Structure 1
Amino acid sequence: MKRGVFAALEVGTGKDLAAHSHGPIGDAVTRLLDAGRAAGTIRPDVDARDVIILIGYLSRLEPAEFDDRARRLLGVILDGLRAPG
């Protein structure tokens, strides 16, 4: 994912990033979460808004630290979505 994607969504629409939890982006994330829950790989207590907010924080990283931190932090986010057990 490119650093500017979520920032562009906020600037381009004038909406807070989390507002995209409703609409095409939220729908796509919801479908992915639903598929993961059906497979038993995604925890049941997260929704599209949670995921969009968490990933959106990656766009807040300073440019100088993005390459070193973003991949690791995305891994932490994805690990946190896994179903327990």
Structure 2
Amino acid sequence: MTEEPRRRRADARRNVDALLEAARTVFATSGVDAPAKEITDLAGVGVGTLYRHFPQRSDLVKAVVEAGIDAVADAGPQLSAAHPPVEALHLWAQRFAELLATKRGLASALHSGGAAFAGLPGYFVARLGPALAALLDAGRADGSIRDDVVADEVLHAITALCRPIPGHEPHYHQRIVAVFIDGLRRT
């Protein structure tokens, strides 16, 4: 018999959400080694609350990255419902490029070899691949997107296009991604 995971109380869920948002902000400005107090002050919770939910720094870093991946994946159906396929794909790719830009500050932690990060590449593909595939399928169905590319290729291409380039800010990468997405249009 398998036990179902306990549901979090509403206040605990709010605390976790506040910690993740605060950590994302602090990591972007001060790096992943910023003092825990900086994160908890911004979240409006105590340090004990941070360590109750995220016992290790790596647990918090991983949760921040997963929350970013989830937000981009979840945006796919929303964008598809609100926009024509090519526009939805473009908007989704911009969100993905933004995720990669914010992940840049976390890169050294993610590539540290820590056991907490081992499953992130699989999580990345498992969450983002289907969202992107659905956007590509919608564009193929209405004839606006070429049919000779698959989601994995597009994920890898956008990831490669968003690698840091000295002297260029993240908005540069969003422009390059826009050019790439334009190249996926059927002519």
TM-score normalized by the length of structure 2: 0.36
* Equivalences for residues 1-85 of structure 1 within 5 A: 1-2=98-99, 3-5=101-103, 11=110, 12=117, 13=119, 15=121, 20=125, 23-62=126-165, 64-67=167-170, 69-84=172-187
Separation in structure 2 between the aligned mates of residue 45 and residue 72 of structure 1, nearest angstrom: 23
Work out the CA distance in 2 between the residues paired with 1:54 and 1:69.
15
Q: Distance in 2 between matches of 1:37 and 1:6?
A: 32
CA shift at 1:38, angstroms?
A: 0.4
Q: Kindly indicate whether structure 1 or structure 2 has the higher relative contact order, using CA contacts under 8 Å at least 6 residues apart.
A: 1
In the alignment of these two chains, the number of paired residues is 79
Larger gyration radius, structure 1 or structure 2: 2
2-structure distance, mates of 1:82, 1:7: 32
Amino acid in the other structure paired with 1:53: H
Q: Which amino acid aligns with 1:39?
A: D
**Matches of 2:105 and 2:180 in 1, distance apart?**
18
Relative to the length of structure 1, the TM-score reads 0.71
Q: Which amino acid aligns with 1:54?
A: A
Superposed CA RMSD: 2.8
1:48 Cα deviation after fit: 0.4
- The gaps in structure 2 that reach 5 residues or longer are 1-97, 111-116
Unaligned residue ranges in structure 1 (runs of 5+): none
